[in-house]
Amino acid sequence: MTPRWHRATTAATIALALVVTGATGYQASAADYERIVNGAFSSGTSDPWWTGAGTSGRVVDGEFCTAVTGGTANPWDALIGQNGVPSEAGQRYTFAFDAHATTAQRISAVSGEGVAPYRQNAKADFDVTTAKQRFTFTFTSSLDFPDAGSGQVAFHLGGQSFDNTICVDNVSLIGGVVPPGGTPGTPTKKIQVNQVAYLPGLPKHATLVSDATTPQAWTVRDAAGTAVATGQSTPKGVDAASGDPVHLIDFSSFDTAGTGYTLAVGDDVSFPFDITAAPFNALRRDSLAFFYHQRSGTPIEAAYVGDTYARAAGHLNVAPNQGDDNVPCRADLNCGYTLDVRGGWYDAGDHGKYVVNGGISAWQVLDTYERAIALGDASALGDGTLAIPERANGVPDILDEARWEVEFLLKMQAPSGMVHHKVHDANWTGLPTLPNQDPQPRRLSAVSTAATLNTAAVAAQAARIWKTIDPAFSAKALLAAEKAYTAAKANPNVLADPNDGTGGGTYSDGTVTDEFYWAAAELFTTTGGDAYRADVTGSPLYKGTSLTTRGFDWASTGPLGDVTLAVVPNGLPHADVAAIRQAFATTADAHLAQMATQGYPAPYRNADGSYDWGSNGLVANNAMVLALAADFTGDAKYRAGVYETMNYLLGRNPTGYSYVSGYGDQPVRNVHHRFWANQLDPSLPIAPPGVLSGGPNSGLQDPVAARLLQGCKPQKCFVDHIEAYSLNEVTVNWNSALAWVANWAAEKSDGKAGCSVDYQVAKWPSGQVATVKVTNTGAKAWQGWTLGFDFPGGQKIANGWSADWRQDGASVTATHLPWNTSVKPGTSTYLGFVATSSASDADPTTFRVDGKVCGKG
């Protein structure tokens, strides 16, 4: 999750001019080009500075202070630095910084190359004392490094026998004639489309970048270049999120399935695209395959991923690995035990495993299955549907994959019932580093309330899913869940340390109200326990109040509890479940309203318009909200909104990239990953198909982003670079969101069970008569059908007509008779019943044909 670091040790003879003064601060003039990012540490963070082995750094009182362990032989044995620093051969530079130390010592300031052969531009030695001083030297560069290239500045802090702390501030490197970032990049196309496929029967939109104020003529061409549709664009003006002057191209009227279509406006031509449902079925598999690639503690076998992506098992205590079968706590914690935490998924491009990110990821993979069972079609999620070792074991493959992470979460539970927040390396490793090549010691971070509640929630969910599949595992999971929840209630404010960021991400979260709600919801749904019910209904987050247009993520998990309560049968009052479902529809309406105003529609909004780290994960989670609104209401507008969101992720965005690797003509290739590191080592692969990049991030929290994208508009804060980790990282929780949405999109793309239901009822005090119109809105005829719904009240069917009516408790089915077996597209069949009821009995709200939710009308 942070950039690689390299030591620069090559000697060089360079003319230097050195100045040492009392530190009074420094500020560049307006004409100076500053090459250091975050040299003043005014944000309170050290990004994008790194620390090397034997050092740990943090920002203290506005300075970057580094603790250095003594006993190193050479100055370069203890390093701090920043990568991607540009320089131009023949140009003059001034390197300046403030520094002081707990104990006086000599340090070196170095400008040079961060990769082999580690050439130097300049190296100057300074004697740092306990008094803060300003050090300055000038040099003429002999090397050319572009922004975000191999250039580096570093401080050599080693070579001392004693431990020490050295603080630096106001670090500056000024010089050169090329502006920071150079010339801003532009998309390769002026017409942005979904580079993969538009779904037949749904709206088809594209974006034209043009400052013309009048409509522009557009043409759809087939693969042979023949015009098959024409029209006029609609000018929309300057789009706030991208800064582009945009036109909307609506070619929805063209609906002929095919491949290799392009859109043209004048001489500008889009990337090719298809009109078909096929890629959605491929994406559901590829997005789930990501998790097998990320498995820890097992070889990734060529039989399942091919030779290119096969690798040895990581972190099994086989040299040079040092874990994960007996991992101790950090030295400062003194927990007195070790844990066997083999298994689980590597969180991202690093080798850390984090409970709070693994929790939402495992839950979302499991919910993909649980939602399909309750509201959709789980036939594509069965055994043998994924390329994993467990296929053909009689258990749905999606559950086998999720279990790999669930088992890890259970292993992270301490004897007290609390759960350790994370396990990762003692220090950051470089790029590239394969998991089996990681030499770093592994350490457990402290327990936290958030991690404990994540484990309680996911373990409770697993307990109900595996209840009949593997009763022993179900019981084990439920025991762990209840133990964790009890421990969290007794320790409600044990928060993760926001400074615990050496060797792994911090994942600190200052609010755990949402985790308490989520865990209580899962435990109540699984057990029906009164105490859990009270915690659910007494929470301020009850009934969807935490749903927002920003979206949910690992630090905002309240909506996960809402999903479970709205989808999985439980003992809550019908009116409360209806209120939760309405909250999803209300939030989905806000997303659709915003998307209607955008040049590149994406369901995501911060109050200030900015885009966060992992914005694509939030976009995908908000597509999940749209999908659930479609499930709950049957309204076609939400379904269309899901596929509009897929357009954004698959290429209809201002960067011109498909953010899903392997999909589209210009997909991301260089994601931040220690194995998929082809950009740094051509012998290694690019990302496999189906991996979601984090996407635009206004914060620009890495040196590549900070150098290349200063002043970028929110949706344009992106570059496909392996070291742009704040933009192009991959994580399990973003891919779990993609997998959930891709599975829903694939399920809803086949056209086999499009339906709508018009339910009309006449009531009297003790009964009612209902007339039901069922319409085939799909593209294919039904040959046999079953209507299903649930009574929310006490209705009991006395008799019915035009179907074989059956009732089991609240659940009702109506199956075709011989004369109405076939229902052609666009036609309807009529049926009805008489039932006993009371005046307070509400009407059913969700209807399904062959297990798939129908629209209304």
Which helix (H) or strand (E) segment is 269 a member of? Answer: strand 268-269
Q: How far apart are CA 557 and CA 457, in angstroms?
A: 10
* Predicted pLDDT at 635: 84
Look up 729 and say whether it is catalytic: yes
pLDDT for 735 beyond 90: yes
| 467-471, 777-781, 801-805, range with the lowest pLDDT | 777-781
* pLDDT at residue 8 in the model: 32
Mean pLDDT on 188-202: 94
**What is the band of 17 on the pLDDT scale with cuts at 50, 70, 90?**
low
| 459-482 pLDDT, tens digit each | 999 999 999 999 999 999 999 999
- Of the listed ranges 405-414, 426-435, 606-615, the least confidently predicted one is 426-435
Largest Cα separation within the chain, whole Å, is: 99
Instruction: Categorize the per-residue pLDDT at 831 as very low, low, confident or very high, splitting at 50, 70 and 90.
Output: very high
Q: Which two tokens stand for residue 37?
A: 């990012």
Which of 47, 77, 350, 562 is catalytic? The answer is 350
Give mean pLDDT, residues 357-384.
95
Phi, psi dihedral angles at 803 (to 5 degrees): -170, 160
Evaluate whether 317 touches 323 at the Cβ level (below 8 Å): yes
Q: What are the tokens at 726? A: 């704040």
Summarize pLDDT for 496-538 with one digit per residue, the tens. Answer: 999 999 899 999 999 999 999 999 999 999 999 999 999 999 9
Report the pLDDT value the prediction gives residue 146, as an integer from 0 to 100: 85
pLDDT at residue 853 is higher than 80: no
Give the C-alpha distances (Å, rounded to integers) separating 23 from 20, 35, 98, 99, 105: 9, 21, 6, 8, 17
730 touches 693 (CB < 8 A): yes
Q: What is the pLDDT of residue 29?
A: 41
Report the predicted TM-score, pTM, of the whole model to 2 decimal places.
Answer: 0.82
Average pLDDT of span 722-738: 96
Q: What b/e string do you get for 64-101 counting C-beta neighbours within 10 Å, with b at 16 or more? A: bbbbbbeebeebbbbbbbbbbbbbbeeeebbbbbbbbb
What was the pLDDT predicted at 16?
57
**pLDDT exceeds cutoff 80 at 11:** no
Contact residues for 325 (Cβ-Cβ < 8 A; gap 6+):
316, 317, 340, 342
* Cα–Cα distances in angstroms (integers) from residue 765 to residues 832, 837, 844, in the given order: 19, 8, 18
pLDDT band of 22, cuts 50, 70, 90: low
**What is the structure's pLDDT at 405?**
98
Kindly tell me if the per-residue pLDDT of 751 is higher than 60: no
Asked if the model's pLDDT at residue 19 lies above 70, the reply is no
pLDDT digits (tens, 9 = 90+) for 555-577: 999 999 999 999 999 999 999 99
Calpha distance 68→111 (Å, rounded):
21
Instruction: Give CA–CA dist 424/354, Å, rounded.
Output: 8
Length of the chain: 857
pLDDT in tens, 641-651: 999 999 999 99
Q: What is the model's pLDDT at position 181?
A: 67
pLDDT in tens, 309-354: 999 999 999 999 998 999 999 999 989 999 999 999 999 999 999 9
The catalytically annotated residue of 720, 723, 747, 841 is 720
Q: Which residues contact 451 (CB under 8 A, 6 or more apart)?
A: 355, 356, 359, 412, 418, 419, 420, 421, 422, 496
Instruction: Give the residue-averaged pLDDT of 215-240.
Output: 98
Burial-class residue 162 by CB neighbours within 10 Å (0-12, 13-18, 19+). exposed
Q: Active site residue: 377, 729, 747, 841, which one?
A: 729
Residue of 672, 673, 721, 816 marked catalytic:
672
Mean pLDDT of the 724-750 span: 95
Rounded Cα–Cα distance for residues 283 and 281 (Å): 5
Give the pair of three-digit tokens for residue 370: 């649980």
> For 773-791, what is the mean pLDDT?
87
CA distance 88 to 111: 12
Mean pLDDT of the chain: 93
Structure confidence at residue 696 (pLDDT): 98
Residue 511: what pLDDT?
97
Instruction: Kindly state the helix (H) or strand (E) to which residue 358 belongs, with its residue range.
Output: helix 355-375
The alpha carbon torsion through 219, 225, 227, 229 (nearest 10 deg) reads: -60
Using the predicted structure, report yes or no on whether residue 27 has a pLDDT greater than 70. Answer: no
Contact call for residues 373 and 380 (beta carbons, < 8 A): no
Q: What is the pLDDT of residue 30?
A: 38
The single residue listed with the structure tokens 């008569």 is 769
State the pairing for strand pair 120-128/105-113: antiparallel
| pLDDT at residue 500 in the model | 93
Structural tokens at position 259: 């491949």
Digit-coded pLDDT (tens) for 37-82: 889 998 788 878 989 988 999 999 999 999 999 999 999 999 999 9
% of the chain surpassing 70 pLDDT: 95
pLDDT of 852 above 90: no
